[in-house]
Structure 1
Amino acid sequence: MTALTRRALLKTTVAAGLAGIGAATVGRLAGWAAAKPELLILKTASIEARLMDGAPTQNVLTYGEAGPPPVVRMRKGEPFAARLINGIDDPTTIHWHGIRVPNKMDGVPFLIQPYVYQGDHFDYAFTPPDAGTFWYHPHCNTLIQMGHGLTGVIVVENPKDPAFDAEMVINLRDWRLGDDGQFIEAFRPRDAAKAGTFGTVRTANWLEQPQFDAPAGGLVRLRAAITDVTRIYAFRVDGAEAAVIALDGNPVPQRFTPDALQIGPGQRLELAIRMP
């Protein structure tokens, strides 16, 4: 029969404690591994796109292989990860406009991250603390990169939000295009003393007159982001009941009708629209 001594009892207690700590640690690490988000790939590219009647516009910049930059969707309080791959011959970054991200993820070159040169990549990882409508864009040579199309919309979803019958996301922006559909000078010095250099073609989701289907009588959430640097828009809804429910990613304290509501560059608007 083994004698129960103080030394033996202490050894047994310590071993059991270490086993418990090991099991807890393994379980926690397994939970972290399971929660790792899927990596979103955002690759810059120079494409041609039809932004107006006539010939397609050359050297339009986007993330992906065709069309406007994708709507990036996240969920409030859940980890998000994206890899920026630079496919153009101009160094770039991504700034997550309006989202409270860690400073090292904010996309300002040399201040908090290096340039991403052609063929290189940079991984962004953060957990969005707020729901709402935001947008993303580079912080490098912005007059050209943003002016040529590198502006996309972000939707941070809140699982506690009320349900809508449909949701539409609209990216509003100007383009400086000539009659031939090609880019013209992005900035005119004489406009600096006025309201800025305006574009010549206005689009929603890179279309001049887009149309979207919505369920009759349905409640629609419309998210609009002005990913432009100069243009101020005045919003009005005709033929349907509408109320402003959020501005710049923040719910409004009291809903109101968008009667020629003016929204400037970088701002976002959310409407609840009851379709006729």
Structure 2
Amino acid sequence: MLTRRSVLMTGAAALVLPKVALAAPLVLRAEPVVAQILPEGDGTTAMLGFNGTTPGPELRLKQGAELAVRFENRMGDVSAIHWHGIRIENAMDGVPGMTQPPVGDGEDFDYRFTVPDAGTYWYHSHHRSWEQVARGLYGPLIVEEPNPPAVDHDITVIVDDWRLEESGTMMEGFGNMHDFAHAGRMGNFARAIPSVAEVRRGDRVRLRLINVATARIFPVQLSGVAGKVVALDGMPLRATRDIGDLVLAPAQRVDIIADVQDDVRFDFPTRDEPYEMGRIAVAGENPAPLGGAISALPAASVAAPGTPTQNLTLRMQGGAMGAGHGGDDIWAFNDVSGMKDAPFATFKRGETARITMINDTAWPHGIHLHGHHFFEVADGQPGDLRDTSFVQRGETREILCTFDNPGKWMLHCHMLGHQASGMMTWVEVA
């Protein structure tokens, strides 16, 4: 479980997100790094990262722009970069063995693609991701609207946990079968890492929270601001909604626009007092606050779903305390574990499918579809647009997806230990 130690501002400041100027091509070098995860004065942690840091540098560009990245692998193992949430060309999706060969240590790979949707996304390793992501191979990818909403600060907040010794040394045991069969590799120390350390009282801020953890579901108590939720998984809501209780499954994101009233705190609720993961300090007053109503963001260009031509069931099975199944690993979808030669389903381009996801296990799962966004069905109608859907144990959820991006696309649990031990499949769009 999480330790009781609060994160001091001195510690938070040591891990403010780095930014990088975009060049053509931009270089992302995967390599060993040393990070100050614990507060300043405590031990450091040997990890993996990009360009000397973890999280990797924030990549920020405009909607419709082209991103050119040279991935230089200098980390000591094969890897690849997946661009999470981007409706990308299939060859650029970053899945070794499916969309590209693995990039060996000392080798390079060039990614080049346009970013069709504004929103909050991220990039991360997709080889042994249950270990490489846990060791720090990830970073934020922000796509700005042509005319972004007026704010004083646009702030990215990475939320993660780590399993550390008191010295700061990362505990080994990656691939632990007990973790895989239960909730996954849970850390004992958590942080919310902002890209801005200070704001003024009265500032209007856009907060982009990204859960990059490999297993932990983060309930987040946000205080010090008054505002609205405007997007989930990068996709704008039709109408803004109250912040309320925030819950982020691994890989999920939430965008909030709010006015600063006091120190902005990101707390993890516990049965006792909240565990403070991070904060953005207030320093001074904004003499001319923007104020006014917070409007919805421009709608995404994702087409409304048509009449489903396929009605499919994706049944989650296995794990500790779960019933048996026909797969050959810890977890399974529909009695099949892992990537097989045959896809879960094949679609003609533009075909809409209704997929009923049934969680028959004792554990929650965050189901992620590559290359597409889908509508979660609410009250029988298309609801929120997402790329990762959180399905509680015993829960059934329907989604509607128009499969309009050709290629072979993974569909898997983003509790990455669950993915590694059977809970993954793929679809093909002709």
| TM-score under structure 2 length normalisation | 0.52
Aligned to 1:62: 49
Amino acid of the residue matched to residue 101 of structure 1?
A: I
1:177 aligns with 2:164: yes
* 1:152 CA drift (Å): 0.9
- Alignment check: 8 A CA contact 1:43 1:84 kept: yes
Larger radius of gyration: 1
Q: SS state of the match for residue 229, structure 1?
A: coil
Q: 1:46 aligns with which of 32, 51, 71?
A: 32
Pick closer, same or farther for the CA change 1:110–1:213 going to 2, 3 Å: same
Aligned to 2:369: none
Amino acid of the residue matched to residue 202 of structure 2?
A: G
Q: Give the Cα–Cα distance (whole angstroms) in 2 for the partners of residues 211 and 103 of structure 1.
A: 34
- Alignment check: 8 A CA contact 1:232 1:264 kept: yes
* 1:66 CA drift (Å): 3.5
Which stretch of structure 1 is more off in the superposition, 175-184 or 95-104?
Answer: 175-184
- Alignment check: 8 A CA contact 2:230 2:256 kept: yes
Q: State the Cα deviation string for residues 82-123 of structure 1 (Å, max 9, x = none).
A: 110011110111000000110000001121111111221111
* Structure 2 unaligned spans of 5+: 1-22, 262-430
Q: 1:213 aligns with which of 198, 216, 233?
A: 198
1:114 aligns with 2:90: no
* 1:187 CA drift (Å): 4.7
Q: Give the Cα–Cα distance (whole angstroms) in 1 for the partners of residues 184 and 217 of structure 2.
A: 11
1:153 aligns with 2:125: no
* 1:240 CA drift (Å): 2.2
Aligned to 1:165: 152
Q: 1:80 aligns with which of 67, 71, 74?
A: 67
Count of residue pairs the alignment pairs up: 236
- Alignment check: 8 A CA contact 2:131 2:175 kept: no
* 1:204 CA drift (Å): 2.3
* 1:189 CA drift (Å): 3.0
Alignment root-mean-square deviation, CA: 1.8
Q: Give the Cα–Cα distance (whole angstroms) in 2 for the partners of residues 165 and 275 of structure 1.
A: 10
* 1:67 CA drift (Å): 4.6
- Alignment check: 8 A CA contact 1:236 1:258 kept: no
* 1:212 CA drift (Å): 2.2
Pick closer, same or farther for the CA change 1:138–1:128 going to 2, 3 Å: same
Q: Give the Cα–Cα distance (whole angstroms) in 2 for the partners of residues 211 and 107 of structure 1.
A: 30
Aligned to 2:121: 134
Q: SS state of the match for residue 239, structure 1?
A: strand
- Alignment check: 8 A CA contact 2:48 2:54 kept: no
- Alignment check: 8 A CA contact 2:54 2:137 kept: no
Aligned to 1:186: 174
- Alignment check: 8 A CA contact 1:164 1:219 kept: yes
Aligned to 2:191: 203
Pick closer, same or farther for the CA change 1:89–1:190 going to 2, 3 Å: closer
Aligned to 1:239: 224
Q: State the Cα deviation string for residues 121-160 of structure 1 (Å, max 9, x = none).
A: 1111111110000111111111221010001111011112
Q: Give the Cα–Cα distance (whole angstroms) in 1 for the partners of residues 218 and 43 of structure 2.
A: 27
Aligned to 1:124: 111
Amino acid of the residue matched to residue 199 of structure 1?
A: G
- Alignment check: 8 A CA contact 2:71 2:108 kept: yes
Q: Give the Cα–Cα distance (whole angstroms) in 1 for the partners of residues 233 and 260 of structure 2.
A: 24
Pick closer, same or farther for the CA change 1:195–1:266 going to 2, 3 Å: same
Judging by fraction of residues, say which structure has more helix: 1
Which stretch of structure 1 is more off in the superposition, 187-196 or 130-139?
Answer: 187-196
Amino acid of the residue matched to residue 105 of structure 1?
A: M
* 1:191 CA drift (Å): 4.0
- Alignment check: 8 A CA contact 2:95 2:126 kept: yes
Q: Give the Cα–Cα distance (whole angstroms) in 2 for the partners of residues 192 and 92 of structure 1.
A: 21
Judging by fraction of residues, say which structure has more strand: 2
Q: State the Cα deviation string for residues 31-51 of structure 1 (Å, max 9, x = none).
A: xxxxxx721110011022221
1:251-270 → structure 2 map (5 Å cutoff): 251-270=236-255
Pick closer, same or farther for the CA change 1:193–1:89 going to 2, 3 Å: closer
